[in-house]
Amino acid sequence: MIRALTVSIDAMGGDAGPGIVVSALLRALQRHTNVQFLLHGDEAQLNPLLAKHAKLKGRVSIKHASGRVAMEDKPSHVLRRGRDTSMWHAIECVKQGEADVAISAGNTGALMAVSMFGLGIVDGISRPAIATIWPTLKGQTVVLDVGANVMASDEQLVDFAVMGEAFAHVIFGLERPTVGILNVGAEEQKGNDAVKGAAQILRNSSLPMAFHGFVEGDDIAKGTVDVVVTDGFTGNIALKTAEGTARLIGAYLRQSLKRSLLSRLGAVVASGALRTLRRKLDPRANAGGIFLGLNGIVVKCHGGADAVSFASAMDMAIDMANSNINARITADRAALRAGASQAMQA
Amino acid sequence: MIRALTVSIDAMGGDAGPGIVVSALLRALQRHTNVQFLLHGDEAQLNPLLAKHAKLKGRVSIKHASGRVAMEDKPSHVLRRGRDTSMWHAIECVKQGEADVAISAGNTGALMAVSMFGLGIVDGISRPAIATIWPTLKGQTVVLDVGANVMASDEQLVDFAVMGEAFAHVIFGLERPTVGILNVGAEEQKGNDAVKGAAQILRNSSLPMAFHGFVEGDDIAKGTVDVVVTDGFTGNIALKTAEGTARLIGAYLRQSLKRSLLSRLGAVVASGALRTLRRKLDPRANAGGIFLGLNGIVVKCHGGADAVSFASAMDMAIDMANSNINARITADRAALRAGASQAMQA
């Protein structure tokens, strides 16, 4: 008998506790009728939460874990002492083949360390990366790495390009998504050695990829390309700068609309439109990040995720589990290497 | 006789041509009654523009320059062939002591190259940087480097910290502005070698500076510190990502407000408030960037600057010319070096 697709969930990971995970499950069950869920965490907390909802029965199982990873725990500490945590158990299930994908809203650094330790890295890739989906004028763009690595060589940026392209293929359904490398200018001679080297590799090889060249910071939100590649230092800072800018503009907007009676009135009349905008600006609306380059699918939800965003992380996880992303990554990476060595021999 | 403070202007630099420079002068003349202006550019274009405004007479002189630097010219080309351009002449006047400060809305890379060649670098500093002023929840923050250097060592980041602090002192009038280094986390062990090294130097020395430690991308717009220090690669990408985010949100807002009759009505009623917001979001409202670390003050206006932003760049230039910024930079840098060598001997 083939078992149903199974999602392994760290129920103790987020700031809000397991309550939002259960609310997210109620949404996900309706959308994905043929999926099973494993909840890892404290039985004493989880059992009563589940007992309230009869429709969860038969679709959701609890696997007790006595410990949990705290947001401030160092990854090295979790690797040494974290084997009884809900996060560790969630990854372990994927490793053992009991589940197809793991989700956690916990400590990002610890989740990456536990995932690398448990699952190992895909053939042909040197380091995993964290990808996120960025709203743009044209729709959505994948940006990676947003924080797994503080540095990246030219070859690692090529790894990220291959992984990001495969992810965009799965998530956006594009045959060959366009890929750009984030830089301080579009011209070939601009930038540091890593971005110039990576661009040269992608330009010269017989591409299994639609490589656009360099893009700049404002190209992310323009949606110039489907995938933006950068190192985890720059990517993390760009992401948080964008979040900070969105909050600043939200604050400006509230101030402006409160300034006079007339503007208050306008805000009341346009409140529906402003609510839509607020939802778009809210970083919690995003599903979070996905770890690419591991022998297994791991989705990282925002620590402050609510039920809506946790459920959309589950959607993404299920899409990924139904895909052959790692086969595409390995094949594309090998094709790029073969192209590069042919180019050297020529 | 002591000559009045003199501003040397590249009148041919921006996208909009010399017309906006003349409009900016009309604003600046009223605000700064004891300042003279030298306009560098094509006499045939500038003379008729000036002749229209009697009040410019006696305060503004034209210095003919036959050439101009194009936006796409490479800095190396301008250094070899650009001696007859309005940009070169504008810097040369500062070098010769005929003017106190230069302003251009032209090609940033060329302006930096010509400025470094003409003016040289301040004692104790290894590379100049471009600083910009960023709007925040608390007011304004200086961010540097936003594009002069694609890489920066730990010692160069310390240079930027010293220069940014001195700039914030002049512009914001704070005795000791707070300084943070941009990183992917606030904890000491986070980040690459350059930011960790720079933080250690600033932490360990007997500080002439209020060093806050690391800040993250969202701390810029929060206004957590008065000065945010980063390398030119990350700084340029953060700045353009913020500009792109602001434009995206502006587009979302317009879409939301057009969606229904009710929201259109609300937008009309609140139009004053929305206009204020649009002005705050408009990157042209910023004065542009300032080149720090040169033996002379050079202000870079946005290429797309209008008269309002060109005039506010002049305000900044005049504030800088009236300050002793380079003396403070040299003294602080020497004090930091002395502190570091004492710490090594101890």
The residues pairing with B104 across neighbouring beta strands, listed in sequence order, are B300
CB within 8 Å of B39: residues ≥ 6 apart:
B9, B11, B18, B21, B25, B46, B50, B60, B61, B62, B63
Grade residue A130 by pLDDT with cuts at 50, 70 and 90.
very high
Please state the rounded mean pLDDT for residues A285-303: 87
Contact (CB<8Å) A150/B265: no
Would you say domain B127-287+324-346 falls under CATH 3.30.1360.120?
Answer: no
Q: At what angle do helices B271-281 and B261-269 cross, to 10 degrees?
A: 80
CA distance B32 to A158: 54
- Please tell me if residue B182 touches chain A, with a CB cutoff of 8 Å: yes
Choose the closest CB to B217 out of A218, A240, A256. A240
Closest CA to B253 of B273, B230, B229: B273
Note which residues in 240-259 of chain A have CB less than 8 A from chain B.
240-249, 251-253, 256-257, 259
The CATH architecture one would assign to domain B1-119 is 3-Layer(aba) Sandwich (3.40)
List the domain boundaries for chain A. 1-119, 126-287+324-346
Six-digit token string for A288: 């979070």
B268 interfaces chain A, CB cutoff of 8 Å: yes
The neighbouring-strand residues paired with B6 are B36
Distance from C-alpha of B332 to C-alpha of A269, rounded to nearest angstrom: 55
| Three-state secondary structure call for residue B218 | helix
A271 and B266 within 8 Å at the Cβ level: the answer is yes
**Beta-carbon contacts of residue B60 (< 8 Å; ≥ 6 apart):** B25, B36, B37, B38, B39, B50
Average pLDDT over chain B reads: 89
Q: Within the 127-146 window of chain B, which residues sit less than 8 Å (CB to CB) from chain A? A: 135-137
CB B269 within 8 A of CB A262: yes
- Tell if the CB–CB gap between B221 and A274 is shorter than 8 Å: no
SS3 B215: strand
A276 touches chain B (CB under 8 A): yes
Residue B1 has pLDDT above 60, yes or no: no
Say how far apart CA A256 and CA A254 lie, in whole Å: 6
Inter-chain CB pairs, A–B, below 8 Å:
199
Which among B147, B221, B237 is the nearest to A238, CB-wise? B237
Q: Are strands A210-215 and A178-182 parallel, antiparallel or unpaired?
A: parallel
Tokens of A86: 């809900």
What value does the mean pLDDT of chain A take? 89
Note the pTM of the prediction, 2 decimals. Answer: 0.91
Q: Which residues of chain A are within 8 Å of residue B281 when distances are taken between CB atoms?
A: 249, 252
In angstroms, the first-to-last Cα distance of chain A is 52
- What ipTM was predicted for this assembly? 0.90
pLDDT of residue B80: 95
Alpha-carbon gap: B227 to the closest alpha carbon of chain A (Å): 15
Per the structure block, which two tokens stand in for A318?
């299920």
Q: Is the pLDDT of residue A166 over 60?
A: yes
Q: Which residues of A touch B132 (CB under 8 A)?
A: none
For B220, residues 6+ apart whose C-beta sits below 8 A from its C-beta are: A241, A244, B134, B136, B141, B143, B182, B228, B238, B242
Question: What is the residue whose two structure tokens read 């540095």?
Answer: A151
Q: Which residue of A has its CA nearest to B281?
A: A249
Quickly state the pLDDT bin for A222 (edges 50, 70, 90).
very high
* Share above pLDDT 70 across residues of chain A, in percent, rounded to a whole number: 94
pLDDT on residue A345 = 62
pLDDT band at B100 (very low <50, low <70, confident <90, very high): very high
| Chain A closest-CA separation from residue B160 CA (Å) | 18
The answer to whether B1-119 and B127-287+324-346 have equal CATH topology is yes
- Tell me if A288 sits within 8 A of A24, measured CB to CB: no
Closest to A237 (Cβ–Cβ): which among B184, B268, B271?
B184
% pLDDT > 90, chain A: 64
The three-class DSSP label of residue B301 is coil
Whether chain A has a CB inside 8 Å of the CB on B239: the answer is yes
pLDDT(B36) > 80: yes
Nearest chain A Cα to B274, which residue?
A256
Percent of chain B with pLDDT over 90: 63
* CATH fold group of domain A126-287+324-346: Isopropylmalate Dehydrogenase (3.40.718)
Candidates B245, B277, B278, B279, partner chain A, best to mutate (most A CBs within 10 A) = B245
Sort out which chain A residues have CB atoms less than 8 A from B222's CB and list them. 244, 247-248
